[in-house]
Amino acid sequence: MSVGEPIPIVGGTGALGFGLALRFAAAGREVVIGSRDAGRAEEAAAKVQSRVPEATVTGLANSDAALLGSIVLLTVPFRAQSENLTNLGFVLEAGQILVDATAPLAAAISGKATRLLGVPQGSAAEQAQEMVPDGVSVVSALHTVSATKLRELDVPLDEDVLVTGDSKEDKRRVAELIGVISGLRPVNAGSLEAARFVEALTPLLISVNIRNKSHAGVKLTNLPDNLW
Amino acid sequence: MSVGEPIPIVGGTGALGFGLALRFAAAGREVVIGSRDAGRAEEAAAKVQSRVPEATVTGLANSDAALLGSIVLLTVPFRAQSENLTNLGFVLEAGQILVDATAPLAAAISGKATRLLGVPQGSAAEQAQEMVPDGVSVVSALHTVSATKLRELDVPLDEDVLVTGDSKEDKRRVAELIGVISGLRPVNAGSLEAARFVEALTPLLISVNIRNKSHAGVKLTNLPDNLW
């Protein structure tokens, strides 16, 4: 039993996407896990179902999944972002929002996950905005949420999600969606241009996590209660 | 009455430097405010004295100030960083630590404070490391602490300071110094190369602060108690 429209997660078999699928399903939202391989997406959906028996969750090929919701999450490694965006270009339609969670880690070229690649457009999110069809709005978010913490469904979250994008209304809609997951506070962190600063938090947190064997997240202090 | 060696703050008449001077003085540490103009440094020292009557605080020209402690704070705008480093190059000596708090905001070239300039060395901190005399170690820190919050001596702080640098021991010493200010938790955020990620937090926070009329800081979640 779930409410609201489905949430397609392109790359939902990956660590971040799967963790988000679990949390959204546990929050009573219908989730559609996308994968390059529909069979693997179905397997991941079955895993979500076994952890969250009341979930409404299905697994589909990415392109089929992306049709099913007005807000589509993209949670793939940077190495695969461009290929996925090319494929999504054939199915996404004006009015849809693509939530990009990509960090351009040097790991994409077998470098370190504590280093960031330079992206010609300025950030992975701006690359995404360049590649999606006209009228599709890219909102950047979810770079600092630990996949491990998301999977620990019995452990409450308590951290922020920095949201950037060029449409305030689209950011607000994404913030509303993120707010469905208890313990995640979405914060408006500026225009899509500022996504580069947020993407840089991923290698920073990876570095901190390696040092401390932790799964750190980010919280901004001294913010007012009413953020949106 | 103060304990420990003096803390020179080059650029201590600026907002961040002055706020730090107040907090260190209030914590019982001797502070030496540096400024291009010794007279302005003395004025700032007098202001600290009036807010913190028990303070041991003096004002000197930057180059004289920088001689007086083994850990020298550099809190100048990016526009003035290079000039200050050139001048400090004549006085800093091997074994000293320079704590660089510079963020290369585009405001340095009359651009926006929500944009970051590309620095050839990768970050303002790495530019500093290139410019200081051999044997001087640059540690990057204090980019996310609000000058306004520092000045509110009666309001407790509760946020993190991300510290980067290539010497773990030097980072530890800087962390110890920062920890003198109650409510600031230093976190080891990696090598000096990672300073670029931390410097990017300044324009990000400025953007958030403009939107929310706030003085946000940063806190990492899910870290162990024993960080150093």
Dihedral Cα A36, A42, A44, A48, nearest 10 deg: 140
Residues counted in chain B:
228
pLDDT value of position A2: 61
Q: Which of B221, B225, B227 to mutate to test the interface with A (most CBs of A within 10 A)?
A: B221
CA of A189: which chain B residue's CA is closest?
B208
pLDDT value of position A29: 97
Which parts of chain B have pLDDT scores under 50?
1
- Under an 8 A CB cutoff, do B218 and A216 touch? no
Q: Which residue has the tokens 């950030």?
A: A123
Region of A158 please: left (phi>0), alpha (psi -120 to 50) or beta: beta
Q: Quote the minimal CA–CA distance from A10 to chain B in Å.
A: 27
What's the whole-number mean pLDDT along residues A189-197?
98
- pLDDT exceeds cutoff 80 at A122: yes
Taking every pair of Cα atoms in chain B, the longest distance, rounded to a whole number of angstroms, is: 46
Which of B193, B201, B214 is facing A224, going by the closest CB pair?
Answer: B214
- pLDDT exceeds cutoff 80 at A3: no
| Tokens standing for residue B128 | 């500093």
* pTM of the shown model: 0.96
- pLDDT exceeds cutoff 60 at A124: yes
Confidence check on the interface: ipTM exceeds 0.90, yes or no = yes
At A32-67, the pLDDT tens digits run 999 999 999 999 999 999 999 999 999 999 999 999
- pLDDT exceeds cutoff 80 at A103: yes
Q: Which residues contact B97 (CB under 8 A, 6 or more apart)?
A: B70, B71, B72, B136, B137, B138, B139, B170, B173, B174
Please report residues of A whose CB lies closer than 8 A to that of B188. Answer: 208, 211
pLDDT value of position A75: 98
> Closest by alpha carbon to A171, among A181, A156, A186, A154?
A186
Please report residues of B whose CB lies closer than 8 A to that of A208. Answer: 187-190, 220, 223
Q: Which CA distances in Å does B213 have to A192, B98, B152?
A: 20, 32, 16
B194: contact with A, CB 8 A cutoff: yes
- pLDDT exceeds cutoff 80 at A1: no
